[in-house]
Structures are given as structure tokens and as C-alpha cells.
Amino acid sequence: MRDSGRKNGQLRDIRITVDFCPAACGSVLLELGNTRVICAASVGDNVPDHAVKWGTGWITAEYSLLPYSTPQRTGRDLYRRDGRSVEIQRLIARALRSVVDLSALQNCLVTVDCDVLQADGGTRTAAITGGYIALARAVNRMRGEGLVAASPLRGAVAAVSVGYVGGDLYLDLDFREDSRAEVDMNVVMDGASNIIEVQGTAEKKSFTKKQLDSMIEMAEKGIHELMEIQKSYI
């Protein structure tokens, strides 16, 4: 039994508030335990040159930890993005683009902003899961306003963390668990259980292929639970 009382393969409690940012085309506040992330999708026409050349639209993302989201204040990226934020926002954008037909978004740029209000582990995976809901809600609005003729969404995407802590395999690590993990991994999948991205690190010791398979299997279960929740808000 974990310190939180959760079972090894149990997600944290999830709360979702839709239309949290009324000015955005689609938005949610996703609360995963004590991790809280706002995901908001905005639509514009300033499509990057490479997408114009291909005759498609584009999806990009921005990610930030707000100053008060961590026990020690996180400085704002006013002049130069820190490497971690850049890496995470690229991950979010790749994950979202993987389930979108960009040709159906012609002349449209969708930017998904993910701002962490409170960080207690799993912020990047929460941003992907919530970012998809925000994107899907924005797509519904775009269809209603005639910006796209048909939905460009080809499926769902969600993400979750897994890891070995004290020799036990846990799903959806909070910060305390993550900081003690021998191995931690972020897994991104689509609705068909295809792997979009895996970020795994041996923090204290290497791990076996059998352990890797066990982590992927646990992550798959958690991701499908998240996708069932996503359906209620799209």
C-alpha cells in the first residue's frame, strides 16, 4: 500500500472543469490529485511557413510552471525559455499532432497553452491528457463556426507516469514517489494502445526488459481509464 493509500495500479483522483477560460476556444482545468493544470486551446491563422507549403494547418503548445506552483518559487520565463519547459511543450505538441489530420486544419493554427497552477508530479502527462480535451472542445467549436468542414481528430491521446519505488511498480506517481523512484517513465498512447512516446529513466539503477514491459502494461491500463474520463468532457 502506498503512503497515499492508493493501490499500486490506481490513478489519483481526477477532477475536470470545462470552459475554465471562457475566452479560449476550448479549455479545461484538470486536477490530478494535487497537480492542477489549466489547458486552453486558441485558434489563429498565422500558420507556420512549413505548414503553408504543405497546405495544412498546425498544432503547437506552450507549457509553463507558474511561480507559485512549487514550494520554492519558480521564476517566470520572461526572456528565455528554460530547457525543461521547451522539451515538455514540444512533447505536448507532438502528442496532440499524432492524432490529428493536419490537412483538415488548413489555414488554422491551434495553440494549446498548458499552465501549471500546482505541481505535485506528473505535470507533463496531465498537460497532454487535459490538452487533448481542450483541443477536442476547440475542434467542436471550430466545426460549429464553419472553420473546419469535418473533425480533424483521428483518435484520442492521453499520458501517464509509471515507476518503480522501493522495488514496487506504481502508476501515476506524485512528487514524493517520483523523487524516490529507482525508475520513472512517462508513457503517451493513442486509443488503439499505439505508443506515441516513452520517456524512461533509470534514476538509481538500470531496469530489465521485463520491467519495461510491466511498466508499459500498467501505463496502458491507466491511459485507457483516462480516455474513458476524457469522453465525458468532449
Q: CATH number for the domain including 56?
A: 3.30.230.70
Domains of the chain: total: 1
**Residue 2 within any structural domain of the chain:** no
Instruction: Please report whether residue 1 resides in a domain.
Output: no
Q: 10: which residues sit within 8 A by CB, 6+ positions away?
A: 171, 172
β-sheet with 26-32: strand ranges across: 14-18, 26-32, 35-44, 109-118, 58-65
**Residue 4 lies inside a defined structural domain of this protein:** no
Cell of 145: 463556426
Please, what's the b/e burial string for 186-204 (b: 16 or more CB within 10 A of its CB; e: otherwise)? bbbbbbeeeebeebbeeee
**pLDDT attached to residue 80:** 66
| 209-231 helix and 123-144 helix, angle to the nearest 10 degrees | 40
User: 80-92, pLDDT tens digit by residue?
Assistant: 677 888 999 999 9
Give backbone dihedrals phi and psi of 153, rounded to 5 degrees, phi first: -75, 125
What is the rounded distance in angstroms from the CA atom of residue 13 to the CA atom of residue 28?
Answer: 16
pLDDT of residue 167: 93
Domain contains 61? yes
The answer to the question of residue 60 being in a domain is yes
pLDDT of the residue at 1 = 67
Host domain of residue 59? 14-231
Residues of the chain short of pLDDT 70, as ranges, are: 1, 78-80
pTM equals 0.94
